[in-house]
Amino acid sequence: MTPGSIAVVGAAETTRLGKIPDMSVIGLHADAALNAMADAGLKASDIDGVATAGASPVEIAHYLGITPTWADGTAVGGCSFMLHVRHAAAAIAEGLCNTVLITHGESGRSRVGAGGFGRSPSSLMGQFEMPYGVTSPPTMFTIPVLRYLKARGYTVEDLATVSVIQREWAAKNPRASFKDPISVADVLNSPMIAWPFRMLMCCLVTDGGGALILTRAERARDFPQRPVYILGAGESVETPMVSQMEDFTSSKAFRVSGKKAFAEAGIGHADVDHLMIYDAFAHLPLYGLEDLGFCEPGEAAAFIRDRNTAPGGKLPLNTNGGGLSYMHSGMYGMYALQESVRQMRGIAPAQVPGAKISVCHGVGGMFAASGTVIFTNEAP
Amino acid sequence: MDRALPQPTPETQHFWDGCAAQELRLQRCGECQDSYFPPRPFCPKCGSRQVEIYRASGKATLYSYVINHRPRPDMGTEPHSIAVVELAEGPRMMTNIVGCPQTPEALVLDMPLEVTFESFGAITLPFFKPAEA
């Protein structure tokens, strides 16, 4: 893909977010897809490419009445949608299709029409991790963190500070699940989930969805919304077992994906006006700032504590409130992408004035996978 | 509710047979000498199929962990550790630390550990406990 040659021309979340017990998973996909098509002024018959995770692209295409010439069911966890954006851009550039719809819908809280998290007891995770009580993200994603804190000299207060500052962003967002201010003491006094993680260091569990529509940049001016161009993207995967991460203090998938995206976009860190780092738990923004190269190892906690990522700071981070305060259906990557698109369109509730470049970085599984998309609102 | 138990595959059977015999078995590459885990019939570092199974020392250090406070009826009623240990031979593995209080004060990173085994029907799981001085 030539940087800037593919654009997002439609973007929307589900009409509601939070608790949606009257809609199933497929219904959430469809609600988001219809909203995105309305946003772009398109009908299902105008779409010829479909990508999704959590459901099959076959289900989504059939349900919406789309006849695709390209389909992508890459499912590597919550960053799957970053990978879909990258794959879709390549597919459009190659002429495999013209207009791609990427959908997400998840009944994370209400579990209506939702599948299970089950893994086979003969899988590597089933044999070598699950017997020890490892089954859900709060006891998996958190496993490397005590080693990370020790290696970097960070503290549980540093983890808590991430949650506190993201709540400041959430307070500016009417659609955020949690908006009331919190202090470091509030975080450290919230119920213990899995030492060293307290409840307010863990993401929400909500229902919702989102969808994006991509096409060639030269067509983008024909659509009603301000086009948001894709400057670069990256992806990688490391291991399905968090215990087998090469380095507990750094995600290889983050490093590979981020480096690829920055190289393709041809930008430096100083060019970035807005940043999203998928925050399933409070340690993710710390790893992300280091592994993407915004901070040297060991400097990320002070960078956040010194309010560089807070409202008014030089690198606004997770401006929707993040998975910690905005919403988290299970595969949050789509909501990070939606916030980047809003910021580039200039319509975010906590808009970063004059922002021209947004980096959106996702994680899949427990440091298992990663995807990075770099957007701009400046025409190529 | 019972603990989630592994279902061995042909590529991992030797490991679980070893646990039943109170042995922690690792694999080592015959060409590059790399020790690795989890089991597979080739070296993940160099790709060689010339690998051997050997009995590991059972010594390890505490690499990282959490103490789960959420209800897990299959894991008992009290908060319990879920840990990654670094084996003396190099590889890391997930386990529970047993034989000591499940508290941050008792579970200190880099503390020396040794393997211990417990049977659950046909399956024996390796756990780690503080090493005896």
Chain A contact set for B37 (CB, 8 A):
128, 244
- Decide if A243 and B70 are in contact by the 8 Å CB cutoff: no
Instruction: Delimit the domains of chain B by residue range.
Output: 13-130
**CATH class of the domain defined by A6-113+204-374:** alpha beta
For B96-131, the pLDDT digits (tens) are 999 999 999 999 999 999 999 999 999 999 999 999
Tokens of residue A65, six digits: 């009445």
Show the CA angle centred on residue A54, arms to residues A51 and A59, nearest 5°: 60
Q: Residue A117's pLDDT is what?
A: 62
Q: Does B8 touch chain A (CB under 8 A)?
A: yes
**Does position B133 have pLDDT exceeding 80, yes or no?**
no
For A344-355, the pLDDT digits (tens) are 999 999 999 999
Instruction: Delimit the domains of chain A by residue range.
Output: 6-113+204-374
User: For this structure, is A132 an active site residue?
Assistant: no
Query: For chain A, which ranges sit under pLDDT 70?
Result: 116-118
Chain B contact set for A238 (CB, 8 A):
none
Per-residue pLDDT, averaged over B82-106, amounts to 98
For A44-55, the pLDDT digits (tens) are 999 999 999 999
* Contact predicate A214/A8, CB 8 Å: yes
Pick among A195, A201, A287 to test the B interface (most B CBs inside 10 A): A195
* Contact predicate A42/A214, CB 8 Å: no
Q: Does A149 touch chain B (CB under 8 A)?
A: no
For A148, nearest residue in chain B (alpha carbons): B64
- Decide if B94 and A128 are in contact by the 8 Å CB cutoff: yes
- Decide if B82 and A134 are in contact by the 8 Å CB cutoff: yes
- Decide if B68 and A133 are in contact by the 8 Å CB cutoff: yes
- Decide if B6 and A128 are in contact by the 8 Å CB cutoff: yes
Chain B, residues 104-123, CB within 8 A of chain A, namely 104, 109, 123
**Does position B2 have pLDDT exceeding 90, yes or no?**
no
User: For this structure, is A326 an active site residue?
Assistant: yes
**Does position B1 have pLDDT exceeding 80, yes or no?**
no
- Decide if B70 and A138 are in contact by the 8 Å CB cutoff: yes
Rounded Cα distance, B45 and B48, in Å: 8
- Decide if B64 and A248 are in contact by the 8 Å CB cutoff: yes
* Contact predicate A237/A251, CB 8 Å: no
Q: Residue A119's pLDDT is what?
A: 77
Q: Residue B88's pLDDT is what?
A: 98
Per-residue pLDDT, averaged over B26-37, amounts to 95
| Residue with tokens 């993710």, as numbered in its chain | A284
Q: In sequence order, which ranges of chain A are alpha helices (DSSP H)?
A: 25-40, 57-64, 80-94, 124-128, 145-152, 156-170, 184-189, 217-220, 252-265, 284-291, 300-305, 322-325, 333-345
Chain B contact set for A195 (CB, 8 A):
66-67, 69, 79, 104
Q: Residue A116's pLDDT is what?
A: 66
Q: Does B69 touch chain A (CB under 8 A)?
A: yes
Q: ipTM beyond 0.90?
A: yes
For A102-113, the pLDDT digits (tens) are 999 999 999 888
Q: Does B7 touch chain A (CB under 8 A)?
A: yes
Q: Does A191 touch chain B (CB under 8 A)?
A: yes
pLDDT band (50, 70, 90) for residue B74: confident
